[in-house]
Amino acid sequence: MKYDYLIVGAGSAGSVMANRLSENPNTRVALLEAGPSDDSLFIRMPVGIILMMRSNARNWRFYTVPQRALNNREIYIPRGKTLGGSSAVNAMVYTRGHKWDYDHWASLGNDGWGWDDVLPLFKRSQHQERGESEFHGTGGKLNVADLRYSHPVSNAFVNAAVEAGHPAADDFNNDVQEGVGLFQVTQKDGERCGVARGYLHPALARENLDVFTEALAHRILFDGDRAVGVQANIKGHMRTIEAGEVILCGGAINSPQLLQLSGIGPAGELRKHGIDCVADLPGVGSNLQDHPDALVVHKSLRKDTLNLAPGALLKTGTKGMWDFFYRRQGQLTSNVAEAGGFIKSRPEEQIPDLQLHLTAARLDNHGLNTLFSMGYGYSGHVCILRPKSRGSVRLSSADPAAAPLIDPNFLVEEEDMETMVRGVKAMRDIMKQDALAPWRGDEIFPGRAAKTDDDIRNFLREKCDNIYHPVGTCKMGVDDMAVVSPDGLSVHGLEGLRVVDASIMPTLIGGNTNAPTVMIAEKAADMILGR
C-alpha cells in the first residue's frame, strides 16, 4: 500500500487534512483511525455527550498520573476515538480564543500565525448561520448555529452574571470576547456537526481516499531521516503502509506518544524503554497545558433540571425524544453546556482570564458519579484560560497499546491556584444573584463550610478537575523545545513528517480548542499544497 499522504488520526485535524489533501483526484491519501466508525445515534444527538463521556468503544478514557497539587488524585481525561476524534464527543461549543492568543504565538517567533493571519482561516472553515460579517464566514464546512434549546436555568445564569456586573455577549468570536451569554454550537439541523460530518463524510466517496478504522499506528518507519510510512495494527493484522509523507493528527496525548514510540523525543526517555533514538527532540511530550476546571454546584428547588434518576429521565426523555425525532428540537439538542462566557478575575486583567460554562444538572467527576446526578441541581464550571503550569506526556512502556503517562501538573504553579480561587469566588458571586433565586437550593460544592480563601484552596485540591483542552506537546516554534516548524509544521530535523493537531499550539488559547484545531489544519493544508 503506497500513498502520497498518510494521515494518522481522523480527529478534528485529521478529518480536515483528509478532505483537503484528497481534493486533487490524482493525490492518493490514506487515513488511519484507531477507533471505529462514528455511526452512532449518541454522536448525532447532541445530548448524547453524556453517554460518550463514558463510552468504552469511542473514548480513550485516559487518566492522569497522581496530581501532586490536587491531593494526588488521578484526573479523568476523555478523548474521542472514532471518526471525528474528540469533535465526536465534545460539547460543541464554538469559540476561538482571544485575538491576543494568536498575536502571542506570532511574538514567540511563529510568523504567519498572528490574529490577522488566522482570522481568514477561521472564517473559511465555518458556515455561520447568522450570516457573514467582519468576524464570521459562510459557506465553510463547519456549521455554526445558535442553540435550538436552552434550559431556563441557563438563561437565568446569563441574567445573574449581568446582575453581578459582567457584560452580556451574544458573540464570543469577535475581537472583544468578554461577556456572558449562550454559546453558539457546531450543530446542523439540531444534530452534532463534528469535524467528521463537516469535512470527512463529504470526502468518503472519493476514490483516492482510503479510510482505515480500528487501525492503531504502532510506529513511524524511517529511511535515514525520512519518514516513509507507518506500521499499524489494522483490525488485528499488522500492516505496513508506505507514503511520501506521514502526517500525525493523533491529538495532544497520542501524537507525542507515537513520536516517542518511533524514536523521536528526549533520548533519555526513549532509552528507558529500549527504543532506538531517531531524533533527540527534548520538546516531544513536554509543554503539556490544559484548562483546570472547578464546579460550583447547587441543588435546585425547581424540579426541572436534568436528572438521571430513572423516573425523571423517563419524563424528560419521552418529551425530548418526541421533539428530537420528529422536529430536531428540544432538550435532546442541548449541548449540556449551553451558557457561559469569558470574564476577568480582577479589574486589572487586560483580557478575560476565566471561562464559565453552566450545566443544568448536578455534576461530580465529569458526570460519571451517576448517583450524584440523580438529584435536581445546576453546576457552574470555572476554568482559568492561560495556566502557567506545564506538564508532560511520557511513555509508560514501549507497548503501543499501553496508555501513556499524562501529567498536566494541574495547579502546581501558585499563580494558577490563586486565579482559580478568584474564579470560584466570581462564580459564587453570580450564583447568589436574584435571577437564580427560583432555582437556588443549598450549595453542594464548595459547600457552605468553605468560607475563606484557604477553604477554597482545600476544596480545589480535593475537587478541581479539567475541561478537556490538552495542547502543546509537539509545539511549533523556533526554540530548542520546539518540535515542528511554524512554516509547515514539519518535525525539526526530519523529512516527510509533520504534526498537525492541537499538540502544535505553543500556548493554550483562551477558549475551547476545537475551532482552533480546525484552523490549524486548514492552514497546514494550505502550506502543504503551496497555497
Cα gap 254→485, rounded to integer Å: 19
Contacting residue, 5, 6, 7, 13, with ligand FAD by CB under 6 A: 13
Burial class (CB in 10 A: 0-12, 13-18, 19+), 11: buried
Q: Which is nearer to ligand FAD, 42 or 453 (CB)?
A: 42
Q: Which is nearer to ligand FAD, 256 or 446 (CB)?
A: 256
Task: Say what the alpha-carbon torsion angle 138, 17, 95, 505 is, to the nearest 10 degrees.
Answer: -140
DSSP state of 168: B
Contacting residue, 169, 216, 297, 491, with ligand FAD by CB under 6 A: 216
Q: Which is nearer to ligand FAD, 254 or 419 (CB)?
A: 254
Which residue number is nearest to ligand FAD in terms of Cβ? 11
**Helix or strand holding residue 12 (H, E):** helix 12-21
Q: Give the cell for residue 188.
A: 446542523
Site membership for ligand FAD, residue 10 (CB under 6 A): yes
For residue 120, say if its preceding peptide bond is cis, omega within 30 degrees of 0: no
- Contact by Cβ (8 Å): 511, 99: no
Site membership for ligand FAD, residue 153 (CB under 6 A): no
Listed in order, strand segments (DSSP E) in 284-391 are 292-300, 339-343, 354-359, 377-384
- Contact by Cβ (8 Å): 342, 177: yes
The stretch near ligand FAD (CB under 6 A) out of 156-164, 202-210, 247-255, 367-375 is 247-255
Task: Indicate the pairing of strand 465-466 with strand 292-300.
Answer: antiparallel
35-64: which residues touch ligand FAD (CB under 6 A)? Answer: 35
450-509: which residues touch ligand FAD (CB under 6 A)? Answer: 468-469, 501-502
The residue type of 396 is S
Q: Which is nearer to ligand FAD, 248 or 444 (CB)?
A: 248
Contacting residue, 515, 519, 524, 525, with ligand FAD by CB under 6 A: 515
Q: Which is nearer to ligand FAD, 86 or 173 (CB)?
A: 86
332 to 371: interface string for ligand FAD, x by CB under 6 A: ----------------------------------------
382 by DSSP, 3-state: which?
A: strand
Site membership for ligand FAD, residue 513 (CB under 6 A): yes
Burial class (CB in 10 A: 0-12, 13-18, 19+), 291: buried
63 by DSSP, 3-state: which?
A: strand
**Helix or strand holding residue 221 (H, E):** strand 215-223
Number of residues counted as binding ligand FAD (CB under 6 A) = 41
**Closest separation in Å from C-beta 11 to ligand FAD:** 2
Site membership for ligand FAD, residue 196 (CB under 6 A): no
**Closest separation in Å from C-beta 384 to ligand FAD:** 16
Cα gap 54→49, rounded to integer Å: 9
Which residue out of 98, 136, 166, 469 is catalytically annotated?
A: 469
Phi, psi of 422 (to 5 degrees): -65, -35
**What one-character-per-residue DSSP string does 237-294 give?**
EEEEEEEEEEEE--HHHHHHHHHHHTTEE-HHHHHHTTPPPSEE-TTTT--BB--EEE
64 to 103: interface string for ligand FAD, x by CB under 6 A: --------------xxxx---xxx-xxxxx----------
The full length of the chain comes to 531
- Contact by Cβ (8 Å): 21, 527: no
Q: Which is nearer to ligand FAD, 255 or 389 (CB)?
A: 255
Q: Which is nearer to ligand FAD, 283 or 446 (CB)?
A: 283
**Closest separation in Å from C-beta 119 to ligand FAD:** 17
Closest CA to 148 of 172, 181, 173, 182: 182
Q: Which is nearer to ligand FAD, 246 or 417 (CB)?
A: 246
Does the active-site annotation cover 469? Answer: yes
252-271: which residues touch ligand FAD (CB under 6 A)? Answer: 252, 254, 258
379-398: which residues touch ligand FAD (CB under 6 A)? Answer: none
Q: Give the cell for residue 165.
A: 456586573
Catalytic residues: 469
Using CB under 6 A, list all residues that contact ligand FAD.
8-14, 32-35, 78-81, 85-87, 89-93, 215-217, 249-252, 254, 258, 468-469, 501-502, 512-515, 517
